[in-house]
Structure 1
Amino acid sequence: MNQELFFAVANHRLTVVAVDADCTMPFVTSFIMIAPGQTTDVLLTADQTPGHYYMAAHAYNSANAPFDNTTTTAILEYKSAPCNANNGKSSTPIFPQLPGFNDTNSAIAFTSSLRSPSKVNVPLQIDENLFFTVGFGLINCTNPNSSRCQGPNGTRFAASINNVSFVLPTRNSLMQAYYQGQPGVFTTDFPPVPPVKFDYTGNVSRGLWQPVKATKLYKLKFGAKVQIVFQDTSIVTVEDHPMHLHGYHFAVVGSGFGNFNPQTDPAKFNLINPPYRNTIGNPPGGWVAIRFVAGLKQGFGCCTVT
Structure 2
Amino acid sequence: MCVCIFFCKIKLQNVTRLCHTKSLISVNGQFPGPRLVAREGDQVLVKVVNHVPNNVTLHWHGIRQLRSGWADGPAYITQCPIQTGQTYTYNFTITSQRGTLFWHAHISWLRSTLYGPIIIFPKRNDSYPFKKPYKEVPIIFGEWWNVDPEAVISQALQTGAGPNVSDAYTINGLPGPLYNCSSKDTFRLKVKPGKTYLLRLINAALNDELFFSIANHTLTIVEADAVYVKPFNTNVVLITPGQTTNVLLKTKPYFPNANFLMTARPYFTGQGTFDNSTVAGILQYDSPSNHSSNNKIPLFKPTLPPINATGFVANFTRKFRSLATAKFPANVPQTVDKRFFFTVGLGSTPCPKNMTCQGPNGTKFAASVNNVSFALPTTALLQSYFFGQSYGVYTTNFPTNPPFLFNYTGTPPNNTVVSNATSAVVLPFNTTVELVLQETSILGAESHPLHLHGFNFFVVGEGFGNYDPNKDPANFNLVDPVERNTVGVPSGGWVAIRFLADNPGVWLMHCHFDVHTSWGLRMAWIVLDGPLPNQKLLPPPCDLPKC
TM-score range, shorter chain: over 0.9
Counterparts of 1:119-134 in structure 2, within 5 Å, are 120-134=330-344
Q: Does 1:115 align with 2:360?
A: no
Aligned counterpart, 1:23: 228
One-letter identity of the residue aligned with 1:153: N
Report Cα offsets for 1:198-247 as digits up to 9, x if no partner. Answer: 1111112222x111100000101110010000000011111111101002
Whether the 8 Å CA contact 2:433–2:500 is kept in 1: the answer is: yes
- Aligned mates of 1:217, 1:140 — CA distance in 2: 24
Match of 2:358 among 150, 160, 163: 150
- Aligned mates of 1:267, 1:241 — CA distance in 2: 25
Aligned counterpart, 1:160: 368
Q: Does 1:301 align with 2:510?
A: yes
TM-score when scaled to structure 1? 0.93
Structure number with higher strand proportion: 2
Aligned counterpart, 1:71: 278
Q: Does 1:178 align with 2:385?
A: yes
Structure 2 counterpart SS, 1:142: coil
Deviates further, 113-122 or 63-72: 63-72
Aligned counterpart, 2:237: 32
Match of 2:349 among 131, 139, 142: 139
- Aligned mates of 1:23, 1:100 — CA distance in 2: 29
Aligned counterpart, 2:398: 190
- Aligned mates of 2:365, 2:259 — CA distance in 1: 44
Structure 2 counterpart SS, 1:299: strand
Whether the 8 Å CA contact 1:222–1:295 is kept in 2: the answer is: yes
Distance of aligned partners of 1:81 and 1:70 in 2 relative to their CA distance in 1, 3 Å threshold: farther
Aligned counterpart, 1:215: 422
- Aligned mates of 2:401, 2:477 — CA distance in 1: 23
Whether the 8 Å CA contact 2:310–2:491 is kept in 1: the answer is: no
Identity of aligned residues (%): 47
Structure 2 gap segments, 5+ residues each = 1-205, 517-547
Aligned counterpart, 1:205: 413
Distance of aligned partners of 1:203 and 1:76 in 2 relative to their CA distance in 1, 3 Å threshold: same
Structure 1 counterpart SS, 2:317: helix
Aligned residues: 301
Whether the 8 Å CA contact 2:284–2:290 is kept in 1: the answer is: no
Question: Displacement, 1:99?
Answer: 1.2
Match of 2:434 among 209, 227, 235: 227
- Aligned mates of 1:77, 1:144 — CA distance in 2: 59
Structure 2 counterpart SS, 1:280: strand
Question: Displacement, 1:80?
Answer: 1.0
- Aligned mates of 1:69, 1:81 — CA distance in 2: 36
One-letter identity of the residue aligned with 1:136: L
- Aligned mates of 2:350, 2:511 — CA distance in 1: 21
Match of 1:254 among 449, 458, 461: 461
Match of 2:377 among 169, 188, 195: 169
Structure 1 counterpart SS, 2:395: coil
